[in-house]
Structure 1
Amino acid sequence: MSTEAQDQRDALGARLRGFRRNAGYASGRSFAAATGFHESKVSRIEHGRQKPSEVDLRIWCETTGQQEQLPDLIAALRHINELWLEWKRQLSDGATSRQQKAIPVYAKTKLFRIWHPTVIWGALQTADYAEDTFKQVVSFFDIPDDIEAARDKRLERQKYLYEGDRAFHVLLGEQALYSNFGGRNVMLGQLEWLLNVMRLPRLSVGFVPRDAPLGIWPGNSFSMFDEKLVLVETYSAELSVTKPSEIEMYVKAFGLLKRSAVYGDSAKELIRGAIRHYDRYR
């Protein structure tokens, strides 16, 4: 769980603990007896180790005479839920809806900072490369097969590379040039496209060579949208970071990764090296 989500869960638990004490329930045991909760559940909720349900909040407020606080508590709980979204829930109707969800975020963003150690960033993908990544998504999460629609929606983001006064700072690990999606022909097409798209004036693409001295460990991929939102992807979930102090940590991490990156002709030579690698497999 993100530290922001945990901080808010802790704060919610402390608030509920205050309600209990103010209502005259000196111990979790006495409150558990009044509500029908298990005593350990009361303790876990109050100490941020368990997230209450909306029903739990309703019972808590009714028992402590704090019914007027219920709407605010439910809003806080729903915000915590949004901070950590399980992929299975996000992708329950297929991958297209998640791709659609990204479009308004891209439309509002002026400064993009992207880090991915192993995969080409979505807005720089070719159709064939994107299609193969979605094949893996559909298979891994066992979701409805909407590969072509999801691919097309992802490629729709590319229009923002050409529109407005946006700036894109993209950092990739050298491994991203070799992670094999779709086989030789797909990879060669993707690598050639990278060389072409790097000419865009609003786009800065750097690569962290595999033997580069590092100022920070590579970690998970993340995408920063201005300094308002950071999305971090794991195998099980997508984390939304909105707390300014946490966003500042990602700004710092991006800066440290950038120190290890190469740009311009050095970056293009890394791409050409990967092209030579795949070109051998005729």
Structure 2
Amino acid sequence: MSTDYQQAREALGLRLRELRLTAAGDGLTGTQLAQRLGWPHSKVYKLEGGRQTATRDDLRAWAEAVGQPGAFEELAARLKGFESHIRSWRRQLAAGHRPVQDTWNVAVDRARTIHAWEESVVPGMLQTADYARHIFLRYANLYGTTRDTDEAVRSRMERQAWLYQGGRRLHALVWEAALHALVCPPAVLVAQLDRLTGTIGMDTVELGVIPLGASLKVPAANGFWILDRQVVVAEDWHAELWLDDAETVASYVRVWEALRESAVYGVDAQNVISEARRHVNSRHRGHH
């Protein structure tokens, strides 16, 4: 469990305790409140100590039992707040990249449809092992975190099995800039571009490339993934944001749809990738 999530649970627990202690009269003891609610005594202390996650029903019952039904909305908003996790990279990567990849695998495995947008790298689900290795090393250097690169690469490659299961669909959009970005040696990038070309025409993948010269409805800003139109995972330099409230998800879907209008597909996408491949080869022929 992320530390951010735990901190939010503890903050909610402190607020619940405050409501209990300021209940009409001289407040309530934990035992009295538990009796009023018909709960085991331990549940009151677990909720207050941030050792158990409250449900909306728990919060409504608590607010009513302490004589402050009006506090329910505020408590529910707090609960909603930590359902949208901000997973700080420093904390997440403390144990290396592998656990982060494993968490992703669980989320992806449940999804039937994924919409992805990447402006500076090839999407993880379409990466070669060599390309992924260089990406992980760049981040490990940046954050000074554990280098478990091989395990992280294996975990990311396991995730790609999703692409070979029926009834799944990855709608990936990539900005052409990502096809030229040397976040790895040129030979690795060339192999990665070949792999991308190979995904065009797969029945589980719809790959759109937005050419650098394309007219854009919205700026080509940070990458994000939408899982089943229920959860958005967006990456920033400080954290990975897991967002699940309907309004936020809807706005990311709108951004994705707006970007999609600038993309080319099929043969046109192949041509953009081939051009990038030629460009990488010609620029770096002298380096081989």
- TM-score of the superposition, structure 1-length normalised? 0.76
Find the counterpart in structure 1 of residue 63 from structure 2: none
Q: Distance in 2 between matches of 1:199 and 1:58?
A: 55
Partner SS state of residue 102, structure 1 = helix
Matched with 2:207 is 205
Shift, 1:219, TM fit = 2.0
Is 1:182 aligned to 2:184, yes or no? Answer: yes
User: Residue in 2 aligned with 1:147?
Assistant: 149
- Residues 5-24 of structure 1: matches in 2 within 5 Å? none
Question: Partners in 1 of 2:136 and 2:79 — Cα distance?
Answer: 29
**Partners of 2:238 and 2:145 in 1: CA distance:** 14
Q: Aligned AA for 2:242? A: S
Q: CA RMSD, aligned part only?
A: 2.4
Q: Output one character per residue of 1:214-259: Cα deviation in whole Å (capped at 9) or x when no partner.
A: 1112221110000211100000001111111111111111111000
Q: Separation in 1 of the partners of 2:87 and 2:80?
A: 11
Contact kept, 8 Å, 1:231 with 1:238, in 2: the verdict is: yes
C-alpha distance 152-52 of structure 1, shift in aligned 2 (>3 A)? closer
Q: 1:71 to 1:250 in 2, by over 3 A?
A: farther
1:86 is displaced (CA, Å) by 0.5
Aligned to 1:34: none
| 1:101-125 deviation digits (Å, cap 9, x = unpaired) | 1112111111110001111000100
Q: 1:70 to 1:270 in 2, by over 3 A?
A: farther
Shift of 1:80: 3.4
- Amino acid aligned to 1:177: L
> What corresponds to 1:191 in structure 2?
193
Q: What displacement does 1:63 show?
A: 3.5
Q: Give TM-score, length-normalised by structure 2.
A: 0.75
1:191 is matched by which residue type in structure 2? L
Aligned equivalents of 1:160, 1:63: Cα separation in 2: 51
Runs of 4+ aligned residues of structure 1 deviating over 3 Å after TM superposition are 51-59, 65-82
For residues 172-226 of structure 1, give each alpha carbon's deviation from its aligned partner in whole angstroms, at most 9, with x where no partner exists.
1111101112211101110111111223111100011112111112221110000
The SS at the match of 1:151 is helix
What is residue 81 of structure 2 aligned with on the other side?
Answer: 80
Q: Distance in 2 between matches of 1:106 and 1:197?
A: 18
For 1:80 and 1:221, the matched residues in 2 are separated by 22
SS in 2 for 1:53: helix
Asked whether the equivalents of residues 133 and 150 of structure 2 are also in contact (C-alpha less than 8 Å), the reply is: yes
8 Å Cα contact 1:61-1:70 kept in structure 2:
no
Would you say the 8 A contact 1:214–1:257 is kept in 2? Answer: yes
Superposed displacement of residue 72, structure 1: 6.0
**Deviation at 1:79?**
6.0
Residue matched to 2:133: 131
Matches of 2:203 and 2:254, distance apart in 1:
25
Whole-Å separation in 2 of the counterparts to 1:114 and 1:199:
17
Map of 2:68 onto structure 1: none
| Residue 234 (structure 1) aligned with residue 236 (structure 2) | yes
Do the aligned partners of residues 136 and 79 (structure 1) sit closer, same or farther apart at CA in structure 2, a change above 3 Å counting? farther
Tell me the percent identity: 28
> What are the residue-to-residue correspondences of 1:1-80 with 2, within 5 Å?
53=11, 56-57=14-15, 60-64=18-22, 65=27, 68=33, 74=50, 75=53, 80=81
What secondary structure, in the 3-state scheme, does the structure 2 residue paired with 1:92 have? helix
Distance 1:216 1:180, change over 3 A: same
In 1, Cα distance between the equivalents of 2:47 and 2:267? 54
Aligned length: 234
State whether residues 57 and 70 of structure 1, in contact with CA within 8 Å, keep that contact through their aligned partners in structure 2. Answer: no
Distance 2:190 2:156 in 1: 20
Whole-Å Cα distance in 2 between the matches of residues 143 and 161 of structure 1? 30
> Is 1:156 paired with 2:158?
yes
CA distance in 2, matches of 1:121, 1:225: 14
Instruction: Give 1:21's aligned residue.
Output: none
Residue of structure 2 in register with 1:246 after alignment: 248
Change (3 A) 1:246 1:78: closer
Pick the aligned partner of 1:218 from 206, 217, 220: 220
Counterpart secondary structure, 2:95: coil
Partner of 1:45: none
